[in-house]
Structure 1
Amino acid sequence: MIRIWKMMNSKKIIFIVTLIFLEAVGFLVLPTLAAEILNLAAQGIETGAVRTIGIVMIVVTLITIVIAVFSTRLSAQESQGLGNTLRKKLFEKIMSFSSQELSSFGTSTLITRTSNDVMQIQLVTMLMLRLIIMSPIVMVVSFLFAFQREAQLAWVFAVTIPAIAIGVGLILRKASPIFRSIQKKTDRLNQIFREGLTGMRVIRAFNTTSYEEERFDEANQDFRDTSIRANTILALMLPVMIIVMGISNVLIFTQGTQLISLGIMDIGNLVAFVQYGVQMLISILQVAMLFFFLPRAEVSAERILEVLDTELHIRDESDVDTLGPVDKVNLELKDVAFGFKGAERDAVCDINMNLEPGDTLAIIGGTGSGKTTIANLITRLYEATSGEILVNGKDIGTIKQHELRENIGYAPQQALLFSGTIRSNLQYGNPQASEEEMWHALSIAQADFVEDLDRRVEAGGRNFSGGQRQRLNIARAIVSQPNIYIFDDSFSALDFKTDAKLREALKPETEDAIVIIIAQRVNTVVNADEILVLDNGQIVGRGSHEELMATNRLYQDIVSSQTKGAGE
């Protein structure tokens, strides 16, 4: 928590503490003034002095209220500002994650950490600024004023305050590990709920709704039972506080009345002493109630810092190279290999290719043969385990990621669209693209269904068919006007006629660029300058369509299976 709180503005915190100190002093002066009124009244002093003290009390109260409102507003601004800072830092960090970091955390827990955990930090920060700062001030000032009024009763606090501290400490020690488990169970609930939403079609198709409901109920009940157990333990705080407060008042009144009967103590001092005692115990209660939230906030802080402290597997080095402004690039892969952590074998190995501007390379192979892995290596979404990937002779590991990807137009396997409009989605490829350039890209992508660039796009492109999403995805890559185009199975949802028309329209647009087409359909790759045939992550054939048909058995089998399927 300390590291999190260090992100706040220290000067503002000092100012807030000053205001809270003035607020506490103003609030605690009132019992002393009230005691003076009672003492004057008991002594039969004329009402003019009483009236004067009453006016002073009203003025002090009004000033204290103004200070309290102002300090509360500043505290709210700081706590909300901290939440804003944390969400920004988390988002920036997560956006820089590679697939390896994303898979190690999981989507559901990252969402929880960015939302629920940050809210826990905000809540506790607000309470900390108001209670943790206010309560010690109130306790110290109350003790000083009470000691000033009647030193002979101060021993009561020496008994009651340690008793409360011990009780609260034992309760929190028991509750803290339970709250840690609550955050993990929250992740579990979010994960199951998210899987249920995203996999709705599959769940219904396989008629497993009852199974998913049972799975959710199990996690939900586990969360409920754990929360009940934690809150039951924390509920002991209030009875402990009430018992100690009652004992404190009994001791104060018992000893105080004896002192009054002996003429040692004034009745006004007894009333003030009781009020200060109550304020001290209420302050302790407020701090104790803060500890109701603190264990969860500590867990949330640890989880947030775990994300922020994660070492990036793929990052820009301090001595990065630059490509500079280039009109054309060449791409070379030398003995490239990549393996997922914990896998028995590499996903791809011994990948070699050399592409010049104007070249069109196609990669074909069965599912799991490593086609998409090569695309992810070129875009540096994965880091090659061994070998080199060179752009204009420079290793992509020494080039800024931003600069590398500026030269790549990527249409991924899953045609993801963002909520917004068609215009805003195309501008992901090129924020400065003109309307003419966007319509031109849509024309090449055969997106003739688009009549208005400002047509609404739902999250994920749910209001478009699979083929429409793929064509918008391809248009987004085209509008970026890159030096390297990568189409990762992005023609699969198109019919043969649209596929052929799109590839024909694409030729003049990419004549000075490198084009890499990853596909499973032979008709998509048949006109490529060179075709790589992959099997189990290795290149088992390369050449033109005619050469492979004459020499490569695997390619022949792929063509035969697709031709047979088409004939049937």
Structure 2
Amino acid sequence: MKNKLGYLYDTYFMNVYHHDEMTNIHQVQLEALIQIMIMAVLLLAIIIYKKQQMTLGTVMLVYLLLSYMINPLMKISVFIAMHDELQIIFERYKEMLPEKRDRKKKIKKIKSIELKHVSFSYGYTRPLFDHFQLKIERSLFIQGKTGSGKSTLLKLIMNQLQPTKGEIVINGINLQELDLNSYYSHIKYLNKTPVFYKESLRTNMIFDRLFLEDKMIELLHYFMLDDLVNGLDLKLDEQGGFLSSGQGQLVMIIRALLSEPDVLILDEAFSNIDQERLQLLINYLNFQKIIVIIVSHQINMMNCQFDCVIIDSGKIVGEEDYGNRFST
């Protein structure tokens, strides 16, 4: 938006410069034309006067009337130039207005996410996904090798990437038909890199929703982060300040849980969390009435509460294709 505004301002001032230049040329031409017309009319009046068909007073009256026409004609010329300039301003203003969009559908609760024959490729490379199908109605653990398409799958679900073919359906509605603000208010995505604001730890977790403070403190105690309760007023920087990498990831997860999403996506979001707190997290998520989608290389996180999908080269594979990774 900053670059677009800069471009519009530069274009506007350049157009104003060109119009001022054209206005000056037009005014010179108009004044020259008026002077020529005055000379022609005076010459004609003198000829008529010499033929004694017009008095000298009438000749002077004609000259005065013609001279009075100069100023109005100049103003008309300026008005025409201003009209063009205002037209340019209006056109630039219209470019800054948001495009008229079709009314999007809103959702109250995400109950299912389905990928129907989804195909996707980066540029002109071989498709990473080709007619990929997956329906998510309960918590899911996604396993796969590096580069198998796990993170790309999550980005497609988050609408950060759009499929080249097929569709992503939320509660039976195409994702492209949904109001994204409504969609994002029900789904949260976290990766391994926490995002912080230059505010206090309390503000980073609950913002201005002070009614969530008791719940926040309860979760901090549950995840054995009692030291942070006394540091809620300490200010963080964009890297998390005094928080360790594991604490930073837990703080982001707590912040997401406090917003009570219908779907929580964790893309290696607990890679730096110790095993004890990780087990507490899994136990907590098991009792939440939300869909949790986890991508992690930590296979020991598997439990009977989660469905499991193994992805290899953009396809869902079975144990016989991938190896006996999960005995369950």
Give the TM-score category using the shorter length: 0.5 to 0.7
Is residue 366 from structure 1 mapped to residue 145 from structure 2 by the alignment?
Answer: yes
Instruction: Identify which of 167, 183, 199 aligns with 1:420.
Output: 199
DSSP-derived class of the 2:163 partner: coil
Partner Cα distance (1:555, 1:466) in 2: 33
CA contact (8 A) 2:190 2:265 kept: yes
Is residue 480 from structure 1 mapped to residue 259 from structure 2 by the alignment?
Answer: yes
1:335 Cα deviation from its structure 2 partner? 2.5
CA contact (8 A) 1:337 1:351 kept: no
Instruction: Identify which of 300, 305, 309 aligns with 1:532.
Output: 309
Residue of structure 1 in register with 2:118 after alignment: 336
Residue of structure 1 in register with 2:106 after alignment: 322
What value does the CA root-mean-square deviation take over the aligned residues? 4.2
Q: TM (normalized to structure 1)?
A: 0.40
The structure with more helix, counted as a fraction of residues: 1
Task: Map 1:84-483 to 2 at 5 A.
Answer: 90=1, 113=3, 118=6, 318-323=102-107, 325-326=108-109, 329-347=111-129, 349-355=131-137, 359-427=138-206, 431=209, 434-450=212-228, 451-483=230-262
Query: What per-residue deviation string (whole Å, max 9, x for no partner) do you get for residues 24-69 of structure 1?
Result: xxxxxxxxxxxxxxxxxxxxxxxxxxxxxxxxxxxxxxxxxxxxxx
CA contact (8 A) 2:118 2:163 kept: yes
CA contact (8 A) 1:487 1:516 kept: yes
- What is the identity, as a one-letter code, of the residue corresponding to 2:127? R
CA contact (8 A) 2:131 2:166 kept: no
1:308 Cα deviation from its structure 2 partner? 7.1
Partner Cα distance (2:300, 2:117) in 1: 29
Task: Map 1:11-30 to 2 at 5 A.
Answer: none
DSSP-derived class of the 1:340 partner: coil
CA contact (8 A) 2:114 2:133 kept: no
Alpha carbons of 1:309 and 1:475: their partners in 2 closer, same or farther (altered >3 Å)?
Answer: same
DSSP-derived class of the 1:434 partner: helix
1:474 Cα deviation from its structure 2 partner? 0.8
1:402 Cα deviation from its structure 2 partner? 0.5
Instruction: Identify which of 291, 299, 306 aligns with 1:522.
Output: 299
Is residue 499 from structure 1 mapped to residue 278 from structure 2 by the alignment?
Answer: yes
Partner Cα distance (2:162, 2:224) in 1: 34
CA contact (8 A) 2:264 2:290 kept: yes
Alpha carbons of 1:344 and 1:446: their partners in 2 closer, same or farther (altered >3 Å)?
Answer: farther
CA contact (8 A) 2:265 2:292 kept: yes
DSSP-derived class of the 2:203 partner: helix
Residue of structure 2 in register with 1:22 after alignment: none
1:555 Cα deviation from its structure 2 partner? 5.1
1:485 Cα deviation from its structure 2 partner? 1.2
Q: TM (normalized to structure 2)?
A: 0.65
1:463 Cα deviation from its structure 2 partner? 3.9
Count of residue pairs the alignment pairs up = 263
1:432 Cα deviation from its structure 2 partner? 6.7
CA contact (8 A) 1:411 1:487 kept: yes
DSSP-derived class of the 1:456 partner: coil
Partner Cα distance (1:537, 1:431) in 2: 41
1:446 Cα deviation from its structure 2 partner? 4.7
Partner Cα distance (1:431, 1:408) in 2: 19
DSSP-derived class of the 1:517 partner: strand
Residue of structure 1 in register with 2:60 after alignment: none
CA contact (8 A) 2:119 2:127 kept: no
1:364 Cα deviation from its structure 2 partner? 0.8
Instruction: Identify which of 317, 323, 328 aligns with 1:554.
Output: 323
- What is the identity, as a one-letter code, of the residue corresponding to 1:360? S
Partner Cα distance (1:330, 1:517) in 2: 16
- What is the identity, as a one-letter code, of the residue corresponding to 2:213? E
Alpha carbons of 1:378 and 1:120: their partners in 2 closer, same or farther (altered >3 Å)?
Answer: closer
Identical counterparts, % of pairs: 24
The structure with more strand, counted as a fraction of residues: 2
Partner Cα distance (1:461, 1:350) in 2: 38
- What is the identity, as a one-letter code, of the residue corresponding to 2:179? K
Structure 1 unmatched runs, 5+: 1-89, 92-112, 145-303, 542-547, 560-568
